[in-house]
A and B are shown apart, each in its own frame.
Chain A
Amino acid sequence: MNGRIIGSLVFKDLVLYFKNRFFAFITILGLVFYILIYTLMPSSVDETLDLAFYAPTLPPVLQDELVTEGVDIARLDSEEALKQAVIDGDYPVGIVLPEDLMPTLAAGGRGQIRVYFNADFPEDLEDSYTILMEEVGYALSGRELNLDVTEEVLGIDRAGEQVPERDRMRPLFAVFLLMVETLGLASLISSEIVGGTIQALLVTPMTVTGLFAAKGIMGVGLAFAQGVIVMAATGGLATNAGIILLALFLGSLLVAGVAFLIASVANDLMSVMGYGIIIMLALTVPALGVLIPGAMSDWVRVVPSFYLVDTVHQVANLGASWGDVAGNMAILLAFSAVIAALGVFALKRRFQ
């Protein structure tokens, strides 16, 4: 393997890539859109219940209890104003505690609470408010529940400091970017096969290993650079950037190996896409586990990209350190090394 020859080939491929203004523009456009999607998504999680009340006298017990439990209460001046605020969408739900509620409850009678829902409020979520108001009724009437609850929070308690959805999407962006470049790299190699330029190159001092090392460096480099740009622009490098960079590099190595494997079995460009999309979907699955917690069971750990996704999520979103993700990194390194080696081996077998 000759470093100078490989360098020349990488340089030539990069120059060709960026000489194609359209290709370069589209690549940049893709990056801009990922960043735009991130920017447009909400930067915080609204995890409180917003309730508007009209109550001539809002019992202090109610206000104290609900506010401490994470309910935002707004008081309006009249029932009409409350209804209008709900219609205008200022509040999804408006609650009226009539003036005679407290006296009725105090006398042992049955009171009435009126609840107004905005028309676009999901119907099947309405009963959560009716249940909540029933409990308010019990609290106002002083009928305590004879129940002793022992509560245990599992995992870090993130109440009040939830990870926004857009940050949960960062691992998905990383995997997508890397995988799309896999298709690009596999296509590049495949086009060399279809065009017959590989055989032409192999009659020069270039070796098969050197040829694909050059293609690999180009593919890994492009994937890695795009991953770094998106991560940097979305704040993913704000904490422990070294871990994220290493994870992205190992991920790039992994996808380069995948690209080699695809190119070693694909006969034409369409079969590259056939194999590539299936593998891309499989490698994307772990990222969905971050977006939809609890949706995946432990089998997802057999997918190599899990260790990339989990590392990015743990570090960028939950502030994990080297020690926390060392296991992930070791497994990702092992997967990447094995798959890259298998890819090179498979390609060498095909062309020698």
Chain B
Amino acid sequence: MSVRRVGALLGKELAHGPRNFMFVFAILVPLVLTVVLSLLFGNLLSGKPKLGVVDQGASRLVALAEEVDSILVRTYDSTDALRGAVRAGAVDMGVVLPGTFDDVVMRGDLAQLTAYVWGESLLKDRIVLGSAIASLVRKVAGQDAPVEIVTATVGDGESVPWDRRIVPFVVLMAIILGGSMIPATSLVDEKVKRTLTALTITPASAGEVFLAKGLVGFIISVFVGIFTLVLNQSFGTKPGLLVLIMVMSAMLAAAFGVLLGVVMKDINTLFATIKGTGILIYAPAILYLFPGIPDWVGRIFPTFYMVDPVVEVTQRGGGWAEVTPELAILAVLIAAMMGLVMVVSRRRQMVPA
């Protein structure tokens, strides 16, 4: 094993990488996904009912509605626009406030309100919006509630908002795309183009080629993984520990990528494998979306030991002590995967297709 040759191969991979689709894909997808998901879970999938308002005057109700945490408010210029939004499901309910609405309410006269309800809106959303509108009208009228509501939180659970639940998925995708897909596609591509044969008749050994390919995936994986954590505002707590987790996760992903590249004879088979096994790889992150599912289910999957330490550190406030058992298992998995790569590549004698 020559460090110089591995370095030369690595340099070549990094220099030519940006021209490779998978290279760009592995870097861009987690970043784009982070932005898209933050938009989606920030508003669209928040679980809050959406109220559309057309204010034909200057009602205080709109400003008061925007202060209510449990509903989302969107304003529209015309009744037609509001009706279109309700019909499309952009809002669950829409109300048109006449120009004199506040005056009528404050005088205590009977106020008229037109409410459009989206046919597919949930009953509970209609209830929440209905009571919110009633409450807002009472506030505009200056009424004081006849009851004081005293709230208390019981139990020791934790509410995990969707934008946080999705972080493990995005981080795992960053690690797998960079760590596994880059070496795998690169190796298969070289096999198909027969440049791998050309490489192995140079002084470079098969092991050096694999190591160089794996290192590219490893570097991209660590870089994109950390960048994804930063983008998701999850890197601030214990950066040293998180870097270690990223490094170990990227090692396992890169070893898996090299294994795929060694075993798969063409790109069709490679993508068929990814298609079929993708759900197994991402299962722990998908399970994390549903906190009610028991923890042991996720532990069946090897990628759990990449995801769980990230969740432990970034969301549960854990430290070295809490993640050490999972990292120990991850280390065993890395060793096993590397051993498997060596055995398989020796058996196949790295014969290109």
Please report A residues at the B interface, Cβ cutoff 8 Å.
20, 22-23, 25-27, 29-30, 33, 37, 45, 47-49, 69-71, 83, 86-87, 89, 101, 105, 110-128, 130-138, 140-141, 143, 145-160, 162-163, 180, 183-184, 187-188, 191, 194, 268-274, 277, 292-295
Contact = CB atoms under 8 A, between A and B. Distances in A.
Contacts of A105: 146-147
Nearest to B185: A270
A180 B275 contact: yes
Given A26-B273, A120-B159, A113 B147 contact: yes
A30 B274 CA distance: 10
B279 interface: yes
Contact of A141 (B70, B131, B146): B146
Contacts of A138: 134, 138, 145-146
Given A134-B149, A145-B134, A273-B22, A27 B154 contact: no
15 contacts: A23-B272, A115-B149, A119-B156, A124-B48, A128-B71, A132-B128, A133-B147, A145-B137, A147-B137, A150-B112, A152-B116, A153-B118, A187-B271, A292-B44, A293-B118
Given A113-B148, A120-B155, A137-B145, A145 B138 contact: yes
Given A45-B122, A69-B127, A113-B149, A26 B44 contact: no
Interface stretch (B245-253, B262-270, B299-307): B262-270
B5 interface: no
A270 B90 contact: no
Given A127-B70, A153-B117, A271 B127 contact: no
Given A117-B153, A137-B146, A292-B44, A122 B21 contact: no
Given A128-B131, A147-B105, 11 more contacts: A134-B131, A140-B146, A145-B137, A149-B115, A150-B112, A153-B117, A154-B87, A269-B266, A270-B20, A273-B25, A295-B40
A160 B120 CA distance: 10
B236 interface: no
A293 B137 CA distance: 28
Contacts of A116: 151-154
Given A128-B132, A143-B143, A269-B192, A148 B152 contact: no
A122 B110 contact: no
* For the complex of A and B, 6 pairs with smallest distance between CB atoms: A293-B89, A137-B147, A294-B90, A155-B119, A120-B157, A70-B123
A315 B31 CA distance: 36
Nearest to B160: A120
B291 interface: yes
Interface in B288-312: 291
Contacts of A140: 146-147
A149 B113 CA distance: 5
Contact of A154 (B116, B124, B154, B193): B116
B119 A158 contact: yes
Given A137-B145, A183-B271, A270-B20, A29 B276 contact: yes
Contacts of B115: 149-152
Nearest to A163: B120
B151 A130 contact: yes
Contacts of A20: 269
A27 B115 CA distance: 50
Nearest to B188: A269
A155 B135 contact: no
Contact of B154 (A37, A119, A141, A191): A119
Contacts of B273: 26
A95 B25 CA distance: 51
A160 B123 CA distance: 7
A335 B341 CA distance: 47
B86 A148 contact: no
B1 to A, nearest CB: 29
Contacts of A69: 123, 127, 130
Residue of B112, B128, B131, B148 contacting most chain A CB atoms (<10 Å)? B131
A269 B208 CA distance: 25
Contacts of B150: 112-115
A83 B87 CA distance: 40
Given A143-B143, A294-B85, A151 B123 contact: no
A112 B147 contact: yes
Contacts of A137: 145-147, 149
Nearest to B112: A148
B219 interface: no
A68 to B, nearest CB: 11
B114 interface: yes
A11 B335 CA distance: 44
A106 to B, nearest CB: 11
Contacts of A153: 116-119
